[in-house]
Amino acid sequence: MHEATLRGRVAELLAASDRSNVPPFMVMDVMSAADRIEAVGGHVIHMEVGQPAAPAPKTAIAAARAALEGGRIDYTSALGIPSLRDRIARHYRDTYGCAVDPGRIVVTTGSSGAFILAFLAMFESGDRVAVTVPGYPPYRHILKALGCEPVLIETSGDTRHALTGEALLAAHGKSPLKGVLVGSPANPTGTMMSREALTDLMKAAQSAGVRFISDEIYHGLDYAFPAVTAAELSEHALVINSFSKYFCMTGWRVGWMVVPEPLARPIERLQQNLAISVPTLSQIAAEAAFDGREEMEAIKRGYVENRRILIEGLPKAGLTKFLPADGAFYLYADVSDFTSDSFEFARRMLEEAHVAATPGVDFDPFHGKNFIRFSYARSADDMREAVARIARWLG
Ligand SMILES: Cc1ncc(COP(=O)(O)O)c(C=O)c1O
> pLDDT tens digit string along 295-338?
999 999 999 999 999 999 999 999 999 988 999 999 999 999 99
**Which atom of ligand 1 is nearest the CA belonging to 112?**
9
Cβ–ligand 1 contact at 187 (below 6 Å): yes
Proportion of the chain above pLDDT 70, given as a percent: 100
Model-level pTM?
0.95
Q: What is the Å distance from ligand 1's center to 240 Cα? A: 10
d(CA 142, CA 28): 18
Cβ–ligand 1 contact at 51 (below 6 Å): no
Q: Provide the pLDDT for residue 306.
A: 97
* pLDDT at position 93 over 90: yes
Q: What is the Å distance from ligand 1's center to 217 Cα? A: 6
Cβ–ligand 1 contact at 136 (below 6 Å): yes
d(CA 306, CA 293): 20
Cβ–ligand 1 contact at 250 (below 6 Å): yes
Cβ–ligand 1 contact at 111 (below 6 Å): yes
Q: Which of 136, 139, 193 to mutate to test the pocket of ligand 1 (most atoms within 8 A of CB)?
A: 136
**In this structure, are residues 144 and 129 in contact, taking their beta carbons and an 8 Å threshold?**
no
Q: What is the Å distance from ligand 1's center to 191 Cα? A: 16
**In this structure, are residues 385 and 45 in contact, taking their beta carbons and an 8 Å threshold?**
yes
Q: Is the dihedral of CA 316, 317, 323, 325 positive or negative?
A: negative
Cβ–ligand 1 contact at 137 (below 6 Å): no
Q: Provide the pLDDT for residue 49.
A: 87
> pLDDT tens digit string along 237-283?
999 999 999 999 999 999 999 999 999 999 999 999 999 999 999 99
d(CA 345, CA 216): 31
Q: Which of 244, 252, 253 to mutate to test the pocket of ligand 1 (most atoms within 8 A of CB)?
A: 244
Cβ–ligand 1 contact at 364 (below 6 Å): no
Cβ–ligand 1 contact at 255 (below 6 Å): yes
Cβ–ligand 1 contact at 110 (below 6 Å): yes
**Which atom of ligand 1 is nearest the CA belonging to 187?**
1
Q: What is the DSSP string of 131-183?
A: EEES--HHHHHHHHHTT-EEEEEE--GGGTTPPPHHHHHHHHHHS--SEEEEE
Q: What is the Å distance from ligand 1's center to 226 Cα? A: 20
Average pLDDT on 155-176 reads 95
Q: Provide the pLDDT for residue 247.
A: 98
Q: Provide the pLDDT for residue 30.
A: 83
Proportion of the chain above pLDDT 90, given as a percent: 89
Q: What is the Å distance from ligand 1's center to 334 Cα? A: 23
Work out the angle at residue 241's Cα, subtended by the Cα atoms of residues 238 and 247, and round it to the nearest 5 degrees.
165
Confidence of residue 376 (pLDDT cuts 50, 70, 90): very high
Q: Provide the pLDDT for residue 277.
A: 97
**Which atom of ligand 1 is nearest the CA belonging to 50?**
14
